[in-house]
């Protein structure tokens, strides 16, 4: 039954896509420029007002109005893309650590996190004290 539904779904999508292609070819959209302009004229006859809308919104700016350095935008995009690819492993690792920390501690348990941090600081201080004592005893021998 599941395979039948999948086949029916795929067949429906393929039929819609094929139908769209068939209708556009039949109407002359993919033909030469004369048949395409005739198809546009038929569209404007069917849907009045579309020509005024397209003329209002589909205008290109003049060359003098466009003062953009496209090369710098392209290069910036390339730099950001390769920076993202290069730093992706570290970003995923830090995201994993953040998610694990977020999921492991409940939201109201802030005091436990502070206690753990204080305990870690105390352990570090004791290790530093032990290392200074060892150094002093080594010098006295």
Which pair of structure tokens corresponds to residue 70? 């496209």
What is the C-alpha separation between 44 and 38, in angstroms, rounded? 10
pTM check: above 0.75 = no
pLDDT at 124 over 50: yes
What mean pLDDT is reported for the chain?
A: 75
Please give the backbone phi and psi of residue 9, each rounded to the nearest 5 degrees, phi first: -65, -45
For residue 108, the tally of other CB atoms under 10 A from its CB is: 7
What is the C-alpha separation between 23 and 65, in angstroms, rounded? 39
69-122 confidence digits (pLDDT tens): 777 788 888 999 999 899 888 888 888 788 888 888 766 555 555 555 555 555
Distance of CA 69 to the CA centre of its chain: 25
Give the H/E segment covering residue 140.
helix 110-140
Place of tokens 């105390």: 122
36-58 confidence digits (pLDDT tens): 888 888 888 887 776 666 666 77
């Amino acid at each position: 039954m599941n395979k039948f539904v999948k086949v029916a779904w795929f067949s429906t999508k393929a039929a819609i896509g094929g139908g769209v292609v068939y209708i556009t070819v039949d109407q002359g959209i993919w033909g030469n420029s004369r048949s395409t302009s005739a198809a546009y004229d038929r569209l404007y006859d069917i849907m009045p007002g579309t020509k005024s809308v397209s003329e209002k919104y589909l205008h290109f700016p003049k060359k003098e109005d466009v003062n953009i350095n496209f090369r710098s935008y392209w290069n910036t995009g390339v730099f950001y893309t390769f920076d993202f690819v290069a730093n992706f492993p570290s970003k995923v690792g830090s995201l994993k650590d953040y998610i694990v920390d977020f999921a492991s501690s409940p939201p109201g348990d802030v005091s436990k996190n502070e206690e753990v941090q204080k305990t870690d600081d105390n352990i570090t201080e004791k290790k530093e004290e032990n290392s200074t004592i060892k150094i002093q005893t080594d010098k006295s021998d």
